[in-house]
C-alpha cells in the first residue's frame, strides 16, 4: 500500500482563540432634543467630524426669550428693592422680617432667570463629545420632540471589538493580551489591539463570556456594527503536532498508524488536544521520533505492508473502490 509518512517531532505552537466580534464605538450617542420645538437652523452636514461642544441644531425660542426678558426685569426690580431694604434696615426704619421677605423675593427672581436661561439653553443642541456625525435626519422647520433622532455621533478614533469566548477557554483570556482582527472590507489589512476587559457574567444559554478588545482606528476604517474575525493570541509553547489527516476516528476510538521496522503498520491509540491549521495536538499515546502514516490511512489495516510513495499515489490508492472477490457479484 503506497502511503506517505512523517516522523513526529515537537514544534512551537500558539493556541489562538478564534471568534467573530462586532465593532463598537468608544463613545456613541443618538443626538436628540430635550424639548418639543421646531428646528430654526441646522449647523452641520452628514458625515461631519465635530469637536466637543459644537452647536449642531438651534431650535426656535422666541417665547422663551420674551419670558427671559420679563424675568430679568423682575430680577432687577427685586435687587433694587432688597438694596433699599438693607439701607432702611440699617437705619432701623423697617423690621428685620421685612428685609428677609425682600431677600426671598430677590432670590426667587434670580432663580427664575436661571431657569429661563436653562430652558433657552435646551434649544441649542451641542455635540456632547468629539466624533463623526452620521446622516442628518432633520431640516429647518422640522418639529422635533424629545427622542426624535437628529443624527448619530460616534467617536471612532479608537474602537472596541466585543467577541464571545467559550467558558472552557476563559483561562486563555486576560486583560492586556494581544488580539488580532480582520474585516471583510479590508481583507489585506490586519488590525491589532489588546484585551481591555472581560465581562463579569457568562451567558447561561451560550456558555460564553464577552471579551472586549480595544483597537486604535486612526484611519476610521473600522465602523460600529462591522463584523471582525478575531484571533486571541496565546503564549507560544512546545507541542506534539501531527497532520490532522493522520488521525483516524472510529466511533469513540482515536488512533494513528505507527510504522514498524519491517514496514508494517499497527494502530496506536492517542488522545487529541487542540486542532488548527490542518494540525492536531497529541497529548497522550505518541512519543517524539515515532514514524506514522499521514496520507493513505483510509484502507490500512494492522499488519499491512506499506511503501513510501507520493501524496498523489497515496490518495489515489485510497480513492479506488475495493476489488471484487472471485465468484462475487458480476
Domain spanning 17-25+155-236, CATH class? mainly beta
CA angle 215, 207, 160 (to 5 degrees): 10
Judged on CB neighbours under 10 Å (0-12, 13-18, 19+), 242 is buried
What is the separation of C-alpha 251 from the centre of its chain, rounded to a whole number of angstroms?
39
pLDDT tens digits along 181-204: 999 999 889 999 999 999 999 999
How many of the other CB atoms lie within 10 Å of CB of 109?
Answer: 21
**Structural domain 62-120, CATH architecture:** Orthogonal Bundle (1.10)
Residue 330 confidence (pLDDT): 39
Distance separating alpha carbons of residues 259 and 7, to the nearest angstrom: 10
| pLDDT score at 21 | 94
Give the separation between CA 263 and CA 304, rounded to whole angstroms: 8
Q: Which CATH number fits domain 2-13+238-319: 3.40.50.300, 2.40.420.20, 3.30.413.10, 1.10.3720.10?
A: 2.40.420.20
Residue 271 C-alpha cell reads as 488522545
Using N-to-C axis directions, what is the helix angle for 96-121 and 62-90, rounded to 10°?
A: 160
C-alpha cell at 303: 499488519
Tell me the pLDDT tens digit for each residue of 254-289: 999 999 988 888 999 999 887 877 888 888 888 999
Q: Which CATH architecture has domain 30-59+123-152?
A: Beta Barrel (2.40)
CA distance 21 to 35: 37
Domain ranges of the chain: 2-13+238-319, 17-25+155-236, 30-59+123-152, 62-120
Which residues of the chain fall short of a pLDDT of 50? 322-330
Amino acid at each position: 500500500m503506497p502511503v506517505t509518512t512523517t516522523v513526529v517531532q515537537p514544534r512551537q505552537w500558539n493556541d489562538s482563540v478564534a471568534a467573530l466580534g462586532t465593532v463598537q464605538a468608544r463613545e456613541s450617542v443618538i443626538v436628540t432634543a430635550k424639548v418639543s420645538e421646531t428646528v430654526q437652523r441646522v449647523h452641520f452636514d452628514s458625515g461631519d467630524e465635530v469637536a466637543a461642544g459644537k452647536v449642531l441644531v438651534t431650535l426656535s425660542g422666541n417665547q422663551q426669550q420674551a419670558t427671559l426678558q420679563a424675568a430679568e426685569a423682575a430680577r432687577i426690580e427685586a435687587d433694587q428693592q432688597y438694596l433699599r431694604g438693607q439701607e432702611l434696615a440699617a437705619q432701623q426704619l423697617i423690621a428685620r422680617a421685612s428685609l428677609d421677605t425682600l431677600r426671598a423675593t430677590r432670590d426667587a427672581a434670580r432663580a427664575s432667570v436661571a431657569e429661563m436661561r436653562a430652558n433657552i439653553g435646551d434649544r441649542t443642541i451641542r455635540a456632547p463629545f468629539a466624533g463623526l456625525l452620521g446622516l442628518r435626519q432633520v431640516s429647518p422647520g422640522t418639529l422635533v420632540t424629545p427622542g426624535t433622532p437628529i443624527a448619530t455621533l460616534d467617536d471612532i478614533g479608537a474602537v472596541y471589538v466585543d467577541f464571545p469566548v467559550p467558558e472552557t477557554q476563559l483561562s486563555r483570556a486576560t486583560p492586556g493580551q494581544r488580539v488580532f482582527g480582520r474585516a471583510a472590507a479590508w481583507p489585506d489589512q490586519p488590525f491589532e489591539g489588546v484585551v481591555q476587559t472581560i465581562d463579569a457574567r457568562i451567558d447561561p444559554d451560550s456558555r460564553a463570556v464577552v471579551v472586549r478588545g480595544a483597537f486604535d482606528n486612526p484611519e476610521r476604517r473600522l465602523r460600529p456594527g462591522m463584523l471582525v474575525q478575531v484571533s486571541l493570541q496565546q503564549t507560544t509553547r512546545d507541542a506534539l503536532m501531527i497532520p490532522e489527516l493522520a488521525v483516524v476516528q472510529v466511533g469513540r476510538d482515536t488512533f494513528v498508524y505507527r510504522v514498524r521496522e519491517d514496514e508494517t503498520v499497527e494502530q496506536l491509540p492517542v488522545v487529541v488536544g487542540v486542532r488548527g491549521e490542518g494540525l492536531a495536538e497529541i497529548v497522550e499515546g505518541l512519543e517524539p521520533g515515532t514514524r506514522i502514516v499521514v496520507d493513505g490511512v483510509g484502507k490500512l489495516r494492522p499488519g499491512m505492508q506499506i511503501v513510501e510513495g507520493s501524496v498523489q499515489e497515496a490518495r489515489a490508492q485510497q480513492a479506488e473502490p475495493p476489488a471484487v472477490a472471485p465468484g462475487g457479484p458480476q
